[in-house]
Amino acid sequence: MFRNIFPLAILAGICIAIGGTVNLRVGGVAGAVLFAFGLTTVVYYGLKLYTGTAGFIRARGDWGMLAIVLFGNIMGCWLSALLVSYAQPDCVEPAVNILAGRLSKGPWACFLLAIGCGFIMTTAVEFARKGKMLPLLLGVPVFILCGFAHSIADAFYFLLVPAEKLLQPYVLAVYVCEVLGNFVGCNLYRWVSLPVRK
C-alpha cells in the first residue's frame, strides 16, 4: 500500500504547494481563485490528498492509508517549500504572516476554521467525482476568502517560514488542531446524515 499511495500523496502535496505559491504571490480574490488549479489537478489525476481522502474512510485499514497520505502530502509540501524559498524568496514574508495569523488565533480557533474547510473540500470532491468541477473551482476560493484552514496548504506555508519562527511547540499544537478539524469537517455530512438514513 505504501509504495502505491506515498508517491501520489507527495505529488498531491506539490500540487497544493503550486496553488499556495500563486496565492502568496498574487493574494486577494485572484490568488484564491488561482489556488484552485492545485485542487483540480489533484482530482483530475486521482492523486491522494488528505482533505480529499479523510471524508471517505470506511474500513479499519483505511486509517493506515490516511496516515500515509498525510505524511506524503507534508513531504511534498516540504520539498516544494525548499525550492520556493530559494527560487521565490518573496513568498516567505506572506507565509510568515499566515503563520503569525494562525498563532494569534490559537489551536481551538484553528480547529474550528479547519472544520469549515474540510466540509467544503469533501463536498467539492463529491461533485468532482460525478464530473461536476464548478463546486471545486468555487469551493477553493470560498474557503480561502473565509479564512478557513486547509492543513496541507498550511503545511506548505508553515514550512516556508524560517526555522527560528517555525520551531515552536505552539506551531505543532495549531497544526495538529487543523488536521483534526479538517477530518471533522470532511466527515460532518456523513456523521449528521447517518442517523437520518437509518
64/85 Cα distance (integer angstroms): 31
**Comparing C-alpha atoms, which of 161, 44, 42, 141 is closest to residue 96?**
161
Average pLDDT over residues 69-83: 98
156 pLDDT exceeds 70? yes
59 pLDDT exceeds 80? no
Q: With cut-offs at 50, 70 and 90, classify the pLDDT of residue 41.
A: very high
Three-class DSSP category at 153: helix
Higher pLDDT: 60 or 6? It is: 6
Contact 19, 36 (CB under 8 A): yes
**Comparing C-alpha atoms, which of 162, 164, 159, 163 is closest to residue 79?**
159
Contact 112, 180 (CB under 8 A): no
First to last CA, the chain: 33
CB atoms within 10 A of CB 58: 7
pLDDT in tens, 79-136: 999 999 999 999 999 999 999 999 999 999 999 999 999 999 999 988 988 888 888 8
Output the 3-class SS for 8-65.
HHHHHHHHHHHHHHHHHHHCHHHHHHHHHHHHHHHHHHCCCCHHHHHHHCCCCCHHHH
Q: What is the pTM of this model?
A: 0.93
> pLDDT above 70 covers what percent of the chain?
96
